[in-house]
Amino acid sequence: MTYGAKSVLTLREQVFEVLERGRRGTLSQTFDVFIILLILTNVLASVVSTVPHVNATYGVQLHRFDVFCVTVFIIEYLTRLWVAPEHPMMRGHSPLYARLRTAAMPLMIIDMLAILPFFIELAYGVDVAVIRVIRIIRFYRLARYVPAIATIGRVLAAEWRSLVGSAVVFAGLLLLASVAMFIAEGHLQPQHFGDVPSAMWWAVVTLSTVGYGDVTPVTAVGKVIAGFVMIMGITFFALPVGIIASGFQEEIKRRDFIVSFAMVARVPLFSRLDAPLIARLVGLLHARKFSSRTIIVSKGDPADGMYFIASGEVEVELPGGPVRLGEGDFFGEIGLIQHESRRTATITATRATDLLVLSAPDFRRLMAHSPELDHAVRETAAQRMEDSRRRSEQ
């Protein structure tokens, strides 16, 4: 069982871990929650400040709160630029390039737009009502802290061709419905259907199944056309919903695969394997959930596989004191390479924990059909056992 030692991080690396790799440690989670609450309350304050009597009564307090929020947002923005060189994608580049590249990223542009109204107000020296409304753009900063929003954005970006196709279909239906109603009732209701652009309002309302009822057909032919348009509207709106739902599911699968791939690839036992073989190992993983204070494995139990921590935290009882492992860590890999081995420690979930399990039987069957995996594992195992022997002799 391997528990890697933590390296000492510089101040900039520590800040980067908090800002850019949040939702792991307590400090990161606390920071994320604080910023989310600050964004929500700031947007709420911007909305209520548009009410005249509220702004007249609490305008000074709301302005001071906005100054506080913007100050925090500016500090956060500048800090993100400061830690930009620590991003893995920026390694090997100059700090200036890393910061300019980071500043051009979509989320950073949103951050900049979120604080821009404050400087516009400062430059004009007046509290412009339009600027107060524009502050609501800060709401979209939640995309950085709420993964689901970012996931939806990636889905829309990935499925844009299909969605554009749906828009073309909608435009075609809209034009067809408008022309049909213009022909059927244009001479009877010229104020509503006297030209195709005017008829488009009815077509949009009907195709979207909203049906305001402000414009309705009066002839039998017009009613038949309206019924057809309603049915086509229901069918059309099912199309983009299905595309987005399917894309969302694929994005979740892709994200889970990437996370699992990264966890498997960082295990020393598999570090020499190529990507296709690691992908096959990922395919063998199966999920298990453990509630808080549940014993996952007990000392002396048969070692029947290894575990990857997808989320949550576990505590390992060692002679030198308990060791805690969190998201992205792993344990039990020796059980894959040593037949009939036993667990050397008791491991307990300290809170609700999701694990990915690679069972020893599945792993050995894959080894039997993959000489490359068998050779790499045996070589790594022999090296680690030799290292363990040398350490015990010292």
pLDDT (tens place) for every residue of the chain, 394 residues total:
444 444 467 888 888 888 875 545 678 888 888 999 999 998 898 888 888 898 889 888 988 998 899 999 999 999 999 998 888 777 778 889 989 999 998 888 988 888 888 887 777 765 556 666 677 888 888 877 777 777 777 788 888 888 888 889 889 999 999 999 999 988 888 888 888 988 999 898 888 877 777 788 888 998 999 888 888 888 887 888 888 888 888 877 777 777 778 778 777 667 677 778 888 888 888 888 898 889 998 888 888 888 888 888 899 888 878 888 888 788 887 777 777 778 888 999 998 888 888 888 888 888 877 777 777 766 766 665 666 566 556 5
d(CA 116, CA 77): 12
Domain 160-255 has CATH 3.40.50.620: no
The letter for the amino acid at 218 is: V
As given in the structure block, the two tokens for residue 57 are: 């009564």
d(CA 299, CA 315): 13
Q: Is 305 left (phi over 0), alpha (psi -120 to 50) or beta?
A: left
Q: Do 180 and 222 form a contact (C-beta atoms < 8 A)?
A: no
As given in the structure block, the two tokens for residue 54 are: 């509220």
What secondary structure does DSSP assign to 210-268, as a single string?
---SSS---SHHHHHHHHHHHHHHHHHHHHHHHHHHHHHHHHHHHHHHHHHHHHHHTSG
CATH number of 11-145: 1.20.120.350
Q: What is the pLDDT of residue 284?
A: 85
E strand or H helix that includes residue 288: strand 286-290
- The three-state secondary structure class of 352 is coil
Q: Do 155 and 244 form a contact (C-beta atoms < 8 A)?
A: yes
Q: What is the pTM of this model?
A: 0.56
Q: What is the pLDDT of residue 393?
A: 60
Q: What is the pLDDT of residue 137?
A: 81
Torsions phi, psi for 68 (to 5 deg): -60, -45
Q: Do 332 and 306 form a contact (C-beta atoms < 8 A)?
A: yes
E strand or H helix that includes residue 14: helix 11-20
As given in the structure block, the two tokens for residue 240 are: 């983009």
| Structure letter (DSSP) for residue 272 | T
Q: Do 317 and 345 form a contact (C-beta atoms < 8 A)?
A: yes
- Specify the residue for token string 């400061």: 82
d(CA 387, CA 384): 5
Strands 353-359 and 346-349: unpaired
As given in the structure block, the two tokens for residue 223 are: 């009613």
Q: Do 64 and 92 form a contact (C-beta atoms < 8 A)?
A: no
Hey, which residues does 356 pair with through a beta bridge?
Answer: 287, 308
The letter for the amino acid at 313 is: E
**In CATH, which superfamily holds the domain spanning 267-393?**
Jelly Rolls (2.60.120.10)
With 0-12 / 13-18 / 19 or more C-beta atoms within 10 angstroms meaning exposed / middle / buried, residue 115 is buried
Hey, which residues does 358 pair with through a beta bridge?
Answer: 306
Structural domain boundaries in the chain:
11-145, 160-255, 267-393
Q: What is the pLDDT of residue 79?
A: 93
As given in the structure block, the two tokens for residue 269 are: 């036992």
- Specify the residue for token string 């947002």: 73
Q: Do 322 and 347 form a contact (C-beta atoms < 8 A)?
A: no
Residue 165 burial (CB count, 10 A): 14
As given in the structure block, the two tokens for residue 27 are: 């400090």
